[in-house]
């Protein structure tokens, strides 16, 4: 599981579950993302004090995790 390998990064699945089933979030729907793609998206959270260096490090960690076919 990708999210399990992203220790220290605030993230969650891009599609939220509503009434027991996966449903595309309003943002992804507005972007025209199909449901089958939306269920594989990653939602990231930034805080007021998140630095550019922290964002760069998170991007590096995500890229490394995606490239590693565990």
Q: Can 11 be counted among the known catalytic residues?
A: no
- Residue range 11-29, pLDDT digits in tens: 887 555 454 556 778 888 8
Query: How many Å is the Cα radius of gyration of the chain?
Result: 13
Catalytic residue among 3, 17, 63, 64: 17
Q: Where are the domains of the chain?
A: 3-67
* pLDDT tens readout for residues 51-60: 999 999 999 9
pTM score: 0.67
Dihedral of CA 43/47/51/57: which sign? negative
């Amino acid at each position: 599981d990708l999210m399990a390998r992203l220790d220290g990064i605030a993230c969650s699945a891009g599609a939220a579950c509503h009434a027991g089933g996966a449903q595309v979030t309003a943002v992804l729907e507005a972007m025209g993302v199909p449901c089958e793609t939306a269920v594989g998206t990653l939602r990231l959270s930034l805080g007021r004090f998140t630095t550019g260096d922290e964002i760069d490090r998170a991007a590096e960690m995500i890229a490394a995790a995606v490239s590693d076919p565990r």
